[in-house]
Structure 1
Amino acid sequence: MNQIQQVGQVQMVPVNKIEVINSRERNSRVFNDIVVNIKTIGLKKPIKVTKRLASDGTEKYLLVCGEGRLKAFKSLGEANIPALVVDVSDEDAFIMSLAENIARRTCRPLELLTGIRQLQERGYTPKSIAEKTGLNPHYLTGILSLLHQGEERLVVAVEKGLIPLNAALTIVGAGDDDAAVQAALQDAYESGKLRGRALMDARRVIDRRKTLGRSASRVMSRKTSDVTPSSLVRTYQNEVARQKAMVRKAEFAHQRLMFVVGALKQLLADENFVNLLRAEGLATLPKYLAERVWSGGNSV
């Protein structure tokens, strides 16, 4: 990367002359907080831009850092914004913007994680990317591996903490072998990385990956003309299989509930057992169970 030279003072730059080179979607609540904060106490930190010449010979600026603050100024109707002007190339401006966005986020959205791959495609090594973004080199290597294999759904799950990175890589290595995927989950469970709700979340992610595909995008990437009768049949069969699995789980849960209700009815018919419950202060049941065990209340 070229040596960056910063101008010694902040300049007031017209907001309509600033071009965003690495735009990203923002949480509306967080953005509204930025707007209110700037409106109340002003801009605490100037944005960062680099100067360019437009095709008509006039001055324009490329945004390096501060898209949220820039949008907030625009929404407040401001014509100018304080900006620190740096002298960098187009590529360096893009890299600086991308690296800063990635490094800033605690839980990085997929679009920023994909930016890691863009950095690698521009010739940056995983080590240099880790240095620029502040990410752990081991984590970075694993994420790059998942991204290169199109495993967007697993990448998002790893970022949200639903699946450990090592387990995600093992799942990818298992390919379409369900037994190997389940073995990866079992290993994560036995090692203590996936327990309780985390294990349920991981299974849900894997089921969605199998049914909906590896991409996390909600928009179909294929054109309508690519839809074939066989793909429709496959989609229908997958949905039928999913619905059948849900029915089986519901039936199993219902059977267990009926067993519990039956057992409680038999136990509560024993006066000695009821007296023991009262003596121990256990004379009530959750409303859901009480309504099924007896009528007229939820205590013995």
Structure 2
Amino acid sequence: MEIYSLESNSNAPVSMIPIEHIEILNPRDRNEKVFAEIVESIRTVGLKKPITVTKISNRNRPYQLICGEGRIQAFKQLGATEIPARIIDVNKEEALIMSLVENIARRQHRAMEFLSCIERLSDLGYDKHAISKKTGLVPEYIQGILTLLKNGEERLLYAVEQKKIPLSVALNISKTADNNSNIQIALQEAYESGDLKGHQLLQAKRVIERRQLVGKNLSYALNSRTSKISANDVVKTYQKEVERLHNFVKRANHTQQVLAFITGAISHLKKDENFFNLLRAESLDTLPQYLEVQLADK
């Protein structure tokens, strides 16, 4: 499915139109510093790029804005009553889509505004590939955003757009057992604080979810959706799991050393014919398969 772009209408005629004749849908709050820079640029060198509008059936405001709200507000602040506009011929749906794409493509935008634009395009029937083609965002990123939007993960979405956590981490956090919001918040805070990163966070998440399922017989039971879990709890869970695995590896190494000593000793004794005949006489000349394999390699 095609998404209409402003570039395809770059040769449309430019006319001076009254600002009061332009209808602005969904006006946005603006960054004061950025807006001041726009005003000063227009005051100094003039308008570099005309706004884009389309004609509509409205007697009082016959034009609908597609792109250029900031430029309009700057012109008004400078006392102008008219503004150069590129007038294109598109229907209502096309105008909406072009406006959404332009909002996404802007270098500076509010996080939730950006996300709502992606969601609106999806609601209009455009898939991740169509949105990706016109926005420059990879399809996987679009799909991840849509997944979080579908699940109502506004907290995680905002963190992703603020670059506090990667999208991949946000998706993993959102997939907690029973969508436990307490655990999600604790995991997010643990990541944002820098206490746990990457595989550390995922390992802590797996341990917490496992303990939720098995109940209170473990030392750190988290089997209630209503129990309050903090980022500190998540960090402690990870630290305990690391300690448990460290002890497990330590015991395994010790066991391996004991087995190595036993197989070495048995290998030495098997070379003593008198001792082996004694074992055979007492029907003790067979060994566990594991030891037989180990001795065969010696």
Unaligned runs of 5+ in 1: 195-236, 246-300
CA distance in 1, matches of 2:112, 2:187: 27
SS at match of 1:78: coil
Paired AA for residue 101 in structure 2: A
Q: Distance in 1 between matches of 2:170 and 2:162?
A: 12
Deviation at 1:24, TM superposition (A): 2.1
Distance in 1 between the 2:149 and 2:68 partners?
27
Equivalent in 128, 131, 134 of residue 130 of structure 2 = 128
Identity of matched residues, %: 45
**Counterpart of 1:143 in 2: which secondary structure?**
helix
**1:161 pairs with 2:163:** yes
- For residues 110 and 24 of structure 1, the distance between their equivalents in structure 2, rounded to whole angstroms, comes to 12
Distance 1:101 1:181, change over 3 A: closer
Relative to 1, partners in 2 of residues 1:173 and 1:86: Cα closer, same or farther, differing over 3 Å? same
Residue 53 of structure 2 is matched in structure 1 by: 49
In structure 2, the CA distance between the partners of 1:165 and 1:193, relative to structure 1 (3 Å rule), is farther
Match of 1:285 in 2: none
Deviation of residue 188 (structure 1)?
Answer: 6.7
Task: Output the CA distance in 2 between the equivalents of 1:157 and 1:102.
Answer: 17
Q: Give the aligned residue type for 1:81.
A: I
The change in CA–CA distance for 1:173 and 1:53 in structure 2 (over 3 A counts) is: same
Instruction: Look up the match of 2:71.
Output: 69
Counterpart AA for 1:165: L
Q: 1:181 to 1:6 in 2, by over 3 A?
A: closer
Preserved CA contact (<8 Å) 2:119 2:146: yes
Contact 1:49–1:84 under 8 Å retained in 2: yes
RMSD: 3.3
The equivalent of 2:24 in structure 1 is 20
Residue 23 (structure 1) shift: 2.5
Taking the TM superposition and a 5 Å limit, the aligned residue runs for 1:82-101 are 82-101=84-103
Partners of 1:17 and 1:149 in 2: CA distance: 40
Q: Is the 8 A contact 2:187 2:201 kept in 1?
A: no
Of residues 7, 32, 35, the one that matches 1:31 is 35
Q: How big is each residue's C-alpha offset from its partner over 1:248-286, in whole Å with a ceiling of 9 and x where there is no partner? A: xxxxxxxxxxxxxxxxxxxxxxxxxxxxxxxxxxxxxxx
Q: What SS class does the counterpart of residue 53 from structure 1 fall into? A: coil
1:205-231 deviations in Å (ceiling 9; x for gaps):
xxxxxxxxxxxxxxxxxxxxxxxxxxx
Mapped to 2, the partners of 1:49 and 1:171 lie a distance apart of 42
**CA shift for structure 1 position 164:** 1.3
Of 116, 141, 144, the match for 1:142: 144
- SS where residue 140 of structure 1 aligns? helix
In the alignment, which residue of structure 1 is the partner of 2:262? Answer: none
TM-score by length of 1: 0.58
Q: In the aligned structure 1, how far is the partner of 2:124 from the partner of 2:29?
A: 23
| Residues in 2 aligned to 1:176 and 1:2: alpha-carbon distance in whole angstroms | 37
Deviation at 1:59, TM superposition (A): 6.1
1:185-207: CA deviation from partner (whole Å, max 9, x where unpaired)? 6897254999xxxxxxxxxxxxx
Q: CA deviation at 1:15?
A: 0.3
2:197 corresponds to:
189
Q: May I ask how many residue pairs the two structures share in their alignment?
A: 197
Answer whether contact 2:12 2:88 (CA < 8 A) is retained.
no
How far the C-alpha of 1:179 sits from its partner, in A, is 6.1
Shift of 1:70: 0.8
Displacement of 1:156 after TM fit?
1.2
In 2, Cα distance between equivalents of 1:118 and 1:93: 13
Q: Secondary structure at the match of 1:24?
A: coil
* Structure 1 counterpart of 2:197, one-letter code: Y
Rate the CA distance shift 1:172–1:61 in 2: closer, same or farther, 3 A. same
Amino acid at match of 1:158: V
Report the equivalent of 2:219. Answer: none
CA distance in 1 between counterparts of 2:3 and 2:138 reads: 24
Deviation at 1:129, TM superposition (A): 1.0
Q: What CA distance in whole angstroms lies between the structure 2 residues aligned with 1:127 and 1:21?
A: 27
1:260 maps to none
**In 2, Cα distance between equivalents of 1:63 and 1:125:** 25
State which drifts further: 8-17 or 98-107: 98-107
1:109 is aligned to 2:111: yes
